[in-house]
Structure 1
């Protein structure tokens, strides 16, 4: 994994400003398209930064740390099988990220999202909350969360103006269960312009073929190059 251009920004004392790792120094970010990365459960903001070397150099990449300590890393919200899970915990976490994005989006020509595993739940929840704010979204080996009728999720608006969405996964992924995949697939088909690709023998990870497809997707969708 290549060392990023700048260090981690420490979260503020009130914990509403997340720790973020940037691929470019602040002096080189203005006017660039922003790609925001959301890591998986028990990882941290360093986990996905190695992807930046495989993505279009035009992007500024920002990798965000989840707020809750979990094992050797962090989580965005408690897992559904854990006693502390609720849709409100998801909303609380995603609201904090949305607030940070409001502070930085003005420096960039567009904002796109990429989430891996639990991070895909964050990326899709941001899309569902702000359906017109993002150029595209990439979801890797992850899932969506049930909205449970919460007003935070503006799914009707997302369906009315569907965003380009890349979803990559392996059908043999043992972490994201079929019970999670079925509603995720149904939501993506109805609410996004979906590109779905399966990668045999990848399991719960990211491989080089998938990264090449993500690079092509971002190039065509955001940069407009073919």
Structure 2
């Protein structure tokens, strides 16, 4: 990201100060307005929802945007994309540091590839966010020192993390899920919920649980 990212808000500027900010990061090939469709299912009173557009247009002029090159279809080998993910993570981190002070706290909600950036921000700057929500996504399998997992694990109390997925998700591969689960258990206070039949998406039941999670951890 070399320019200020495009962000869609649920509230006008004068209503945002002092609220809980939930910054939403969309998936591969999507755009900022997609996750705004979840807002009616989430708690309203005292919350501001902001959805950020990823920096990179899709290869070949396809619709939507991506946070970094996946070197293939979603669910493919993400190892070559670590540097790109770090660039996107730095930009999201900088945006939060510049804009987050007016809010009571900041939570990150990431779907699919957006979850990899949400978790990377928490790993890069463990004290920057108050909670994480990950939907049908993954954490990046990397030991790069940019991701300060030791500091994240040392947080007290540990970072609350809601992780929802379908066990039969056709996009996020088994090895990616296995790494994400191990990472979450070792470094966060994770609440893991499976939603049969949801596929690579979200469900009404999952949104109810996310709403309860946000209300509980940010009350």
Q: Do these two structures clear the TM 0.5 threshold for a shared fold by scoring above it?
A: yes
Partner SS for 1:201: coil
Partner Cα separation in structure 2 for residue 180 and residue 81 of structure 1: 15
Answer yes or no: is 1:189 the counterpart of 2:185: yes
Which residue, out of 25, 43, 66, partners 2:54?
A: 66
Q: Deviation digits for residues 161-180 of structure 1, max 9, x if unmatched? A: 12000000000100001011
Gap runs ≥5 in structure 2: none
Using CA pairs under 8 Å that are at least 6 residues apart, name the structure with larger relative contact order, 1 or 2: 2
Task: Report the TM-score when normalising by structure 1.
Answer: 0.89
* CA–CA separation in structure 1 for the residues paired with 2:81 and 2:170: 23
Q: Aligned with 1:46: secondary structure? A: helix
Q: Distance in 1 between matches of 2:183 and 2:207?
A: 24
Deviation at 1:135, TM superposition (A): 1.2
Whether the 8 Å CA contact 2:24–2:35 is kept in 1: the answer is yes
Q: Which runs of 5+ in 1 are unaligned?
A: 1-13
Q: Which of 22, 39, 42 matches 1:55? A: 42
Aligned partners of 2:81, 2:117: CA distance in 1, in Å? 14
Query: Does the 8 Å CA contact 1:16/1:96 hold for their aligned counterparts?
Result: no
* In 1, Cα distance between equivalents of 2:66 and 2:51: 14
- Once superposed, what is the RMSD of the aligned Cα atoms? 1.5
Q: Report the TM-score when normalising by structure 2.
A: 0.92
**Distance in 2 between residues matched to 1:115 and 1:35, nearest whole Å:** 10
Runs of 4+ residues deviating >6 angstroms:
none
Q: 1:190 to 1:209 in 2, by over 3 A?
A: same
Match of 1:24 in 2: 11
Cα deviation 1:19-72 (Å, max 9, x = unaligned): 100100001001111000000000000010011111111210000000000121
SS of 1:47's partner is helix
Equivalent residue number for residue 79 of structure 1: 70
Distance in 1 separating the partners of 2:48 and 2:102: 11
SS at match of 1:179: helix
